[in-house]
Amino acid sequence: MTVYIPNINTIGTLIDRLTVENVKLSFFLEQSKTPDLDIDRENLRERIEKQEAIKNEVEKMLCATLEDIFSKKEYDPLFEERTFS
């Protein structure tokens, strides 16, 4: 049985992380389209490649999680108590 831990591998966490990684990638891609930007183009290209790899891995994790949940027909993430409630 897979243990789903908040802020680690729950569906919401993975969707949130994928959103963040897509925003970062979009920012780098927009930078690459700015012709007069004073930036190291090689460094920016490397950032884009790394960001695409990170985004792709998070996508794979989300897909694997969803496939696991659909195939087992169960999803019971752990409940996380807040320290200062």
Domain boundary assignment for the chain: 11-72
**How many percent of the chain have pLDDT more than 90?**
78
Asked if 58 contacts 14 with a C-beta cutoff of 8 angstroms, the reply is yes
Question: What is the model's pLDDT at position 37?
Answer: 76
Mean of the pLDDT values across residues 42-57?
Answer: 96
Split at pLDDT 50, 70, 90, the class of 53 is very high
